[in-house]
Amino acid sequence: MEERLPAELLELVRKAGEVAASQGQRLYLVGGAVRDLLLGQPSLDLDLVVEGHAPELARHLARAWGGEVLAHPHFGTAKFRRGELSIDLVTARSETYSRPGALPNVKPGSIDDDLLRRDFTINAMAIHLDPASYGELVDPYHGRGDLDQRLIRILHPKSFVDDATRILRALRYEQRLDFQLEATTAELLRQDTPMLDSITGDRIRHELELILREAYPEKALVQAQELGVLARIHPSLRGDSWLAERFGEARELTPGTPPEPSLYLCLLIHRLSKEGNELLIRRLRMAKATARTMRDTLTLKSELPALAEPCLPPSSIYRLLERYSPAALLANALASDSPLVRQRLHLFLDELRYVKLSLNGEDLKRLGAPPGPRLGRMLQALHEAKLDGEAKTRQEEEELVGRWLRLVEDDS
Ligand code: ATP
């Protein structure tokens, strides 16, 4: 901890341990942060578990040190924030499952109870923050050994049955850390994959989103296909070399900045039928905006032949593409085999969508255009002319409008 945590965060954590001890409570660092510290990776996202009462401890911390508390007493959780630093405090708890896939029944418990409810041995370790035992590792399930052997192992044989989201979590950690599923875990994972049906759409979607936020999401998706996990979520979803290549190309577009998860999602659903897409939207209870982007992806895909017509002026390209969301456009650019289609999608994304007129309706009126619907049409025609390079500057826009107005006058 001393080496890997920033000094200020370390001081906060140490102080929190002292304040907890003064209240007769015991505090631990838990979960992903312990795993990452032992792997030698820095972690700024700290989860602390207290044998006691987290909201009460957070308030004591604020009193002793200043800072803000956001407490959820009903859940026994609190966030403590001081300047830039923040830590999440949770009351140690034990969990039981009334039926597979249900949310657990929760009651206060010890640190061992709290670790037992976790997903994998490598996430089920804690570090004492109590001054008397500061820095000691709590490792009842031999997570450290599994870290050394690079294994993802569940804590008990019913783990995937209790909560099948752990199936997706297992694949995410396996691929992120470049670990392997321990043999029994792998066997149970295959066997219990049908339990994914017992999980609500919201929870599956959340885990899928976490996968799409990984550095190389395709790795977990390819593995999910091989193990039959992806097909359990939706029979036509595929995690294959096509997808892996497209994800890689998506990253190359913005080196140093990971693609938006929505772009990965659009690529993932790109080969679904429209009906299949609707099924997935319903199953995962997608938010309205996400559902729209997913539908956009497939509608645009069906309209791409129009974009492959020869000799399309930029204004026509604009009209064909203006109603689609950027992720849908980019996904189709990455997915299309046609260089011309790709080039036109990129022309729209990189240039055409930013083309704006210098003149507005008021300017047109000032130049003599009569108010009314024709004004709107003239603005649109002017925009198209600008897209097609016929009016580059404000002055050229004014000249073009002037010519059009004279033509109208001559006609009447
Ligand atoms: P990371 O993705 O780096 O592990 P994290 O540790 O913050 O980040 P979260 O998804 O926030 O991961 O989960 C925090 C901890 O809660 C995990 O380390 C794990 O022990 C536990 N956890 C999360 N989801 C489950 C689950 N479905 N079943 C059991 N334990 C879980």
Mean pLDDT by 10 residues, the chain (412 residues): 82 91 95 94 88 93 90 91 89 86 82 95 97 96 97 97 97 97 98 97 98 97 97 96 98 94 98 98 97 98 95 96 97 97 97 96 92 91 96 94 85 65
pLDDT at residue 129 in the model: 96
pLDDT at residue 411 in the model: 67
The closest-lying atom of ligand 1 relative to the alpha carbon of residue 210 is: 2
Q: Tell me how far CA of residue 154 lies from CA of 162, 185, 219, 309, in angstroms.
A: 12, 6, 20, 55
pLDDT at residue 203 in the model: 97
CB of 101 closer than 6 angstroms to any ligand 1 atom:
no
> How would CATH label the architecture of 150-286?
Orthogonal Bundle (1.10)
**Which residue(s) pair with 180 in the sheet?**
151
Q: Give the closest residue (by CA) to ligand 1 atom 21.
A: 118
CB of 143 closer than 6 angstroms to any ligand 1 atom:
no
Q: How far is the CA of 311 from the centre of ligand 1 (A)?
A: 54
The closest-lying atom of ligand 1 relative to the alpha carbon of residue 172 is: 2
Q: Map tokens 């003599």 to a residue.
A: 368
The closest-lying atom of ligand 1 relative to the alpha carbon of residue 163 is: 27
Q: Which of 84, 44, 29, 86 is nearest to 61 (CA)?
A: 86
CA distance 376 to 370: 10
Q: Tell me how far CA of residue 346 lies from CA of 172, 249, 332, in angstroms.
A: 32, 14, 10
CB of 121 closer than 6 angstroms to any ligand 1 atom:
no
CB of 118 closer than 6 angstroms to any ligand 1 atom:
yes
pLDDT at residue 141 in the model: 96
Q: Give the closest residue (by CA) to ligand 1 atom 30.
A: 118
pLDDT at residue 147 in the model: 98
CATH 3.30.460.10 is the classification of domain 1-149: yes
pLDDT at residue 8 in the model: 83
CA distance 95 to 162: 11
CB of 159 closer than 6 angstroms to any ligand 1 atom:
no
CB 4 within 8 A of CB 42: yes
CA distance 327 to 129: 45
Q: How far is the CA of 224 from the centre of ligand 1 (A)?
A: 19
Q: Which of 204, 126, 142, 217 is nearest to 167 (CA)?
A: 204
Task: Write out the two tokens for 405.
Answer: 């107005």
Q: How far is the CA of 32 from the centre of ligand 1 (A)?
A: 7
Q: Give the closest residue (by CA) to ligand 1 atom 18.
A: 31
pLDDT at residue 95 in the model: 83
Q: Give the closest residue (by CA) to ligand 1 atom 15.
A: 31
Q: How far is the CA of 239 from the centre of ligand 1 (A)?
A: 24
Query: For a pocket test of ligand 1, which of 118, 154, 211 has the largest count of ligand atoms closer than 8 A to its C-beta?
Result: 118
Task: Write out the two tokens for 270.
Answer: 């790109």
Counts of helices then strands in the chain (DSSP H, E): 21, 11
pTM (2 d.p.): 0.90
Q: Give the closest residue (by CA) to ligand 1 atom 6.
A: 32
CB of 203 closer than 6 angstroms to any ligand 1 atom:
no
Query: For a pocket test of ligand 1, which of 123, 125, 171 has the largest count of ligand atoms closer than 8 A to its C-beta?
Result: 123
Q: Which of 229, 197, 35 is nearest to 119 (CA)?
A: 35
The closest-lying atom of ligand 1 relative to the alpha carbon of residue 36 is: 3
Q: Give the closest residue (by CA) to ligand 1 atom 9.
A: 32
pLDDT at residue 42 in the model: 78
pLDDT at residue 156 in the model: 96
Q: Map tokens 């897209």 to a residue.
A: 387
CB of 201 closer than 6 angstroms to any ligand 1 atom:
no
The strand pair at 105-108 and 93-96 is best described as antiparallel
